[in-house]
Chains A and B, each alone.
Chain A
Amino acid sequence: MLNKSYKNSASLALLPAHGVPPSCANPAIKIADLTVAFGGVPVLHGVDLIVGKGEAVGVVGESGCGKSVTWRAVLDLLPRSAEVSGEAWLGDFDLVGARSSVLDRVRGGRIAMIFQDPAGALNPVHRIGAQIAEALRLHRGLTGPAARAETRRLLDQVGIADAASRVNAYPHELSGGQNQRVMIAIALAGRPELLVADEPTTALDATVQAQILLLLKKIQQDTGMALVMISHDLAAVAAICDRVCVMYAGRIVEAGSTHTLLTAPEHPYTRDLIGAIPPSCGPRIRLTAIAGAPPQRHLPPGCAYSPRCRDAVAACAVARPQARQVSAGHSVHCLKAAAER
């Protein structure tokens, strides 16, 4: 199932064709100027993001930077107190403000989502086979033998050995990694165009983390589904995504192909995030510790990162940097990066 033939994204990114922004003419989802506020306090300040069909995009940043809120806002999964505005185009209709009857067909059908805690997302009193069959009935109208056959096929696809007997297991009889595989099977039941994985492996052990990430990558490549992976671990995201968006304080501050972002990061925040990860080979160097914490409630007037940025100059605290194209598909919001050219 998981074999050496995997090409991870960083090596794929070395291919020349990969620097070009992928299929933006043919997006799976196009988010434009999405803002979210809770009780008048804005938490998302205009996110623009396009995920191409069949593309794997990573979203990284610290806790509270708006990674999860972005996707929960798109799927209308936020509490009712949230004020959402902007656009999220799935094909030719806008999900923001759409009626819940319309969204019910999108959620789990065209866009599926998996979460960090699979045991919490599964129903503990139902067998996993029944939970997958429920998704098949809701999204594809399958019942009876057809649903049972498809359930077994899905369990095979997500790498659960002995699927025929495992359909009768309850979530507590499975390990965390197997439960996450079941969650992925349920997500795949509706044949989604887009799968949003929110910290899918944070709660899992190291060897299982690699298995699940590579499984997601394999499914994305096999089915042509688009994949969005949300994580605070840039290394895990970079391992399976073609493109990475770095979020800070409710905005995307840098976006580009994985290879570009890792080898030539322009935003100081991206550089600091890379420096904060203990390297897995080579000499042990001192880690980059980003002083302070992301701003809460009120943003500084200029660049939101300027109070923590080691490269900040006076101008950074005054004017908010606009997006600048460094190269095709690589954009950055930083005054300094713009000035250096």
Chain B
Amino acid sequence: MRALLASLRDGRGFDISLISITMTFLLLFCGVPLIYNAIMSFQEVDIFNLNTFIRPWVGFDNYRALFADATTLPIFYNTLVFVFFSIAGQFLVGFALALFFSLKFSGSTYLRGLFLVSWVMPGLVVGAIWNWILSGDFGILNHVLKYIGVISDNIFWRSDIHFSLWAVIIANIWLGTAFNMILLSVGLAAIPNDIYEAAQLDGANAIQRFRTITLPMMRATIGAVVSLGLIFTLQQFDLFAAITSGGPANSSNVAQYRAWEMSFKEYDFARGATISVLMIGVVMIASIIYVRSTKQEIRG
């Protein structure tokens, strides 16, 4: 008993008890639902057997039914477009801003801090604001585009099937840029200045320095930013709920929003679970890339 107490106080027992609290929490609230969700995707679930665990086992029927549904593939395609262009936009704008603020002009740190405002705003609020900006009749975006002569007629961003997905992408880029910028700024700040000076003396111009010093030394950070971006964009739900609700005619619907619709609007829990399981697979791959890229960080 005494030995147990002693090890709890300053031995391995303390470490184990700390870890076990977290592990219990994670297993109970993440692990079990994850497995439950995976099991549900192989079962026939309806309103009447929702309260039991033993339900008819249907094998891959739910998966087959999902892919037989004509709306599924367009929705997955939308997801792909949404993820790719959101990440590309967030990364490019974020990197450009990070480089800009790394010039360290007076007031740059305060300005950079201001950019974080977008990151702390709730998605639903951001969505509501973008609804105003994107509004077809009185939105400021249409006004600006018309003023500079890009368009001649109003675009109905949220209700035109050609633009509805892009409406969410634009809002999502705005929402995620600050996070990208901050992570990339940290990566940039970690590159010692004398390496750039050495490269200058070695004859490298600004573009060559960016290509041969900045980019390779940022590899770990970029890997982390992109894989975190993948996870965050696959999680993005609020903006869809606030801006388009996946419509019109599923033109802006994506997998994560579709899974919610299936489960909680159409009460087809099995189909909702099936989509979620497919997404878990993608997120897992992203997580592995993230973990590996942070491991490979270069230290001078």
A binds B: no
